[in-house]
Amino acid sequence: MKALMLAVLGAVAVMATPALAQDKVQLRLATVFDGPTVELWQPVLDDFMKAHPDIEVKMDTVAGSGAAVYPDVLRTAMASGDPPDVFFMWGGSISGPFIKAGQVRPLDDDYAKYKWGERFPQWIDNRLKIDGKMYGVPLHGQGMGMFYRTDIFKAHNLEVPKTYAEFEQVCSKLKDAGIYCASTGGKFGWHVMRLVDYFTETTCGPDVHDQLNALKVSWDQPCVVAAYQRLRDWIDKGWLVPNFLNVAPDDSRIPVYQGQAAMVLEGPWMEPAIVQAEQDPANFGFFLPPTDHAPDRYSAFPEQWMISAGSKHPDQAAMFIDYIASLDTQKAHPEAFQGSPLIGMKPDCTKTPITCQIVDIVQSDRPAYPPTDQAFVKELMDSFFAVQDGIIAGKLTPADGAKQFQEQVDAWKAKQPA
Amino acid sequence: MTSLSTSAAAAPVRARPRRRRKFRWAMLTPYLFLAPALIIYLGFLVYPMLVSLYTSFFDWDGMSKTMTFIGFGNYINIFFGDEVARQALVNNIVWTLGCLIIPTGIGLLLALALNRGLRGTVVLRTLFYAPAVLPLVAVGLIWGWMYNPNFGAINLILRSIGLGRFAGGWLSGYDTAMPSAFITYVWASIGFPMILYLAGLQSIAKEYYEAARIDGANGLQQFRHVTLPGLGESHVIVLSLAVIGGFKVFDLIYTMTYGGPGRVTQVLGTWMYFQAFQYYHAGYGAALAWLIAVIILVIAIPYIRHMSKD
């Protein structure tokens, strides 16, 4: 009899276990976090699960791939009907195809419910709005500028430039001293694009630059030719480390570390990279390259959290995003939220002074322009990169480059549905 | 002999009555053994291939629930609307011609050298074959660093031996990127034809060479009339694999040049990847994939059949 009762109890326990597991909502979170970042985030997830014992959050990461592979992984998961509930995404055009395909849940109701709109600088909210709707909640606001070698500047009595003309003078003096002004990596196109974007901002000004990115005005115009000419001049004058067309962006930092080049155009991720490369952080400073325009804008882009349209638990997913987008959570885990644009959230300025400087700029609501690869779809962007490569290699003149890219824009527009 | 033939020809051919074999469960046994492999083959190869063929007739982003049927629109676009696809096709043809001549030729020369029974043959064979076992992605990354204009081994060596004027951006140049990537391919791929040719050489009977020498044939004539015909089967395998490999090339281009600078190193494999996975043109990408498959089949199958008959 005792054995029979034990057997019955065992059977009940076995039958009850899946039921209990099913009661717990399982949220899947897709990210591009690397190993150390995953470690920083695990306590955040643990705290959330402690506060919400009925929800379990599991993080899947596609580390180190950047925008090259992660969107493919995400797309495959969505196409197979098994999307993550919450996923990391860059801003701008990279998220566009997912939204267009109806794979992303609009978050306007959640924005109203949780008052997310009040938590972040306006420029980030504006940048994330697509066709008047909000689809994502900001994770990072990444501002970019010149990381420069303070020791080299000091050794050659150089000051941080206040105008574009001063910037050219700095480059010229560095060249005379046998040091390249800047280093860049042409492989994938987007690293050099940052320089081209800067030149376009200086020659076209904020309004025209925005209209160019929106394809509302022709790229075949004098200010674009002038921007391409500046790129050409920097190469011809020997201000850029030569033969950079196939150099990977990360490898382009090496001449700066070795003191052969004085600066590189990067964002706040550069500061940990400097430490990782065993460089002395005291030898590095940061400035926004001057544009000679008002407003004096800089290049910046948001990164965001989105909820899959196919998520089985959208309410819990929104609750999770609300938790990680709150000041209390981020202050409890400052290392996990480096570069957060949440107003009031600041990194430890004694540990990461440059990141602190960038966060101040990002949260100040100073106007920013988007990197072109977040303004155009990838297909058009690759045409932009092909023209850029042609100018760098001397296969295209700046005028031909501007003309050719506008032809590519026209061809791309003609293919789009009305 | 003649009469035997005549009588044989005159003999009435009587059809043997077909007897229906009685069904036994044991007759199913071989099929049961084949079934798991067949199911996997159908599920993971044939079915996806058919789906991709179906997809190639649609305009589809690979995610949306709706697909727009456009018939042969994607295929027409490859040949008449897409300049990069045509350039990629030309690159593939040039690459394949290179594959047919250079790695196979060097592989044959190495096999001939190693077949002479020199001391250290085993070590040399291992050395030459070693790159062939490396994943091409790893090879691409390693050679990408070697070609780096600032700290790459190739430029450092050139500078250290006084040939610094030849140092440059090997993968950055419009004229040098493709040849530089191809040199990497040659380095990575000579081992396989070498091993196949070496196996072929060792299967040619020594008596043929002795007979040729007695007939007064010199070394070149022995190679022309004994070695080359004796390697017939090896040629079939080596050359057909070279064609297939030439049109399938993807890893090296993706890791070393990413199709650049500009688009001068795009090949059909990378362009298919860009279209399907980066530009969200899944239908067009599928059409490009089928173009690659058809080209390989059209070239390789008749060649293999012809050589096999010989």
Quick one: pLDDT band at residue A20, thresholds 50, 70, 90? very low
pLDDT tens-digit readout, A146-179: 999 999 999 999 999 999 999 999 999 999 999 9
Q: Is the dihedral of CA A255, A256, A261, A263 positive or negative?
A: positive
Task: Name which of A69, A94, A179, A245 to mutate to probe chain B: the one with the most chain B Cβ atoms within 10 A of its Cβ.
Answer: A245
pLDDT tens-digit readout, B183-221: 999 999 999 999 999 999 998 998 999 999 998 989 899
Cβ contacts of B169 within 8 Å, gap of 6 or more: A242, A243, A244, A245, A246, A247, B149, B176
Which residues of chain B make contact with A78, given a CB cutoff of 8 A? 63
Dist CA A96 CA A94 (whole Å): 5
pLDDT of residue B53: 96
pLDDT of residue A191: 95
Across A222-250, average pLDDT: 95
pLDDT of residue A64: 60
Q: Do B257 and A254 touch (CB under 8 A)?
A: no
Across A67-89, average pLDDT: 86
Q: Do A188 and B258 touch (CB under 8 A)?
A: yes
Across A389-409, average pLDDT: 96
Closest chain B residue to A72, measured at CA: B277
Quick one: pLDDT band at residue B14, thresholds 50, 70, 90? low
A7 pLDDT exceeds 60? no
pLDDT of residue B119: 82
- For residue A92 the two structure tokens come to 């701008």
For a pLDDT cut of 90, what percent of chain A falls above it?
Answer: 67
pLDDT of residue B15: 57
How near does any CA of chain B get to the CA of A357, in Å? 31
Give the A-side interface with B, CB within 8 Å.
68, 71-72, 75, 78-79, 97-98, 100-103, 186-189, 241-248, 251, 254-255, 260, 377-379, 382, 385-386, 389-390, 392-393, 395
Other C-beta atoms lying within 10 Å of the C-beta of residue B245:
19
Q: Do B171 and A390 touch (CB under 8 A)?
A: no
How far, in Å, are A77, A155, B155 from residue B53 at the CA level?
21, 64, 46
Assigned CATH topology for domain B84-308: MetI-like fold (1.10.3720)
Cβ contacts of A285 within 8 Å, gap of 6 or more: A147, A148, A150, A153, A160, A354
H or E element, residue A354: helix A353-363
pLDDT of residue A127: 85
A66 pLDDT exceeds 70? no
Name the residue facing A245 among B169, B280, B281 (closest C-beta).
Answer: B169
Q: Do A79 and B62 touch (CB under 8 A)?
A: yes
More confident residue, A36 or B262: B262
Closest chain A residue to B264, measured at CA: A386
CB-CB contact of A222 with A198 (8 Å): no
Which residues of chain B make contact with A189, given a CB cutoff of 8 A? 260
Quick one: pLDDT band at residue B7, thresholds 50, 70, 90? very low
How near does any CA of chain B get to the CA of A369, in Å? 24
Dist CA A316 CA A307 (whole Å): 10
Across A13-34, average pLDDT: 72
Q: Do A242 and B280 touch (CB under 8 A)?
A: no
Which residues of chain B make contact with A75, given a CB cutoff of 8 A? 62-63, 277, 280
pLDDT of residue B6: 41
Sorted by where each begins, the domain ranges of chain B are 84-308
In A2-34, alpha helices (H): 2-23
CB-CB contact of A408 with A401 (8 Å): no
- For A288, counting Cβ atoms within 10 Å of its Cβ (0-12 exposed, 13-18 middle, 19+ buried), the class is buried
Which residues of chain A make contact with B261, given a CB cutoff of 8 A? 186, 245-246, 389, 392-393
Which residues of chain B make contact with A260, given a CB cutoff of 8 A? 150
Residue type, B301: I
pLDDT of residue A36: 81
More confident residue, B97 or A18: B97
Across B248-264, average pLDDT: 92
H or E element, residue A158: none
SS3 percent helix, strand, coil of chain A, rounded to 5, is 55, 15, 30
- For residue A314 the two structure tokens come to 């959208």
Report CA A85 to chain centroid distance, whole Å: 21
For a pLDDT cut of 70, what percent of chain A falls above it?
Answer: 93
Strand partners, A143: A300
A11 pLDDT exceeds 70? no
Maximum alpha-carbon separation in chain B: 87
Name the residue facing A186 among B172, B174, B277 (closest C-beta).
Answer: B172
Write the DSSP symbol of residue A370.
-
Dist CA A376 CA A387 (whole Å): 14
Task: Name which of B63, B184, B264 to mutate to probe chain A: the one with the most chain A Cβ atoms within 10 A of its Cβ.
Answer: B63
More confident residue, A343 or A194: A194
Q: Do B279 and A98 touch (CB under 8 A)?
A: no
pLDDT of residue A282: 94
CB-CB contact of A115 with A108 (8 Å): no
B1 pLDDT exceeds 60? no
pLDDT of residue B9: 44
Q: Do A103 and B63 touch (CB under 8 A)?
A: yes
Give the residue from A70, A74, A96, A92 showing the smallest Cα distance to A84: A74
pLDDT of residue A83: 93
Quick one: pLDDT band at residue B73, thresholds 50, 70, 90? very high
pLDDT of residue B308: 65
B310 pLDDT exceeds 70? no
pLDDT tens-digit readout, B118-150: 788 888 888 999 998 899 999 999 999 999 988
Q: Do B274 and A255 touch (CB under 8 A)?
A: no
DSSP codes, A243-292: S-TT--TTGGGHHHHTTSEEEEEE-TTHHHHHHHTT--GGGEEEEPPP-S
CB-CB contact of A161 with A274 (8 Å): no
More confident residue, B305 or B213: B213
Name the residue facing A390 among B149, B168, B262 (closest C-beta).
Answer: B262
Quick one: pLDDT band at residue B5, thresholds 50, 70, 90? very low
Q: Do A186 and B274 touch (CB under 8 A)?
A: no
A6 pLDDT exceeds 60? no
A65 pLDDT exceeds 90? no
Dist CA A255 CA B125 (whole Å): 40
pLDDT of residue A346: 84
Q: Do B172 and A247 touch (CB under 8 A)?
A: yes
Across A277-293, average pLDDT: 95
Cβ contacts of A357 within 8 Å, gap of 6 or more: A286
CB pairs under 8 A between A and B: 98
Closest chain B residue to A401, measured at CA: B262
Q: Do A379 and B277 touch (CB under 8 A)?
A: no
Q: If you average pLDDT over every residue of chain A, what do you get?
A: 90
Report CA B189 to chain centroid distance, whole Å: 10
Quick one: pLDDT band at residue B12, thresholds 50, 70, 90? low
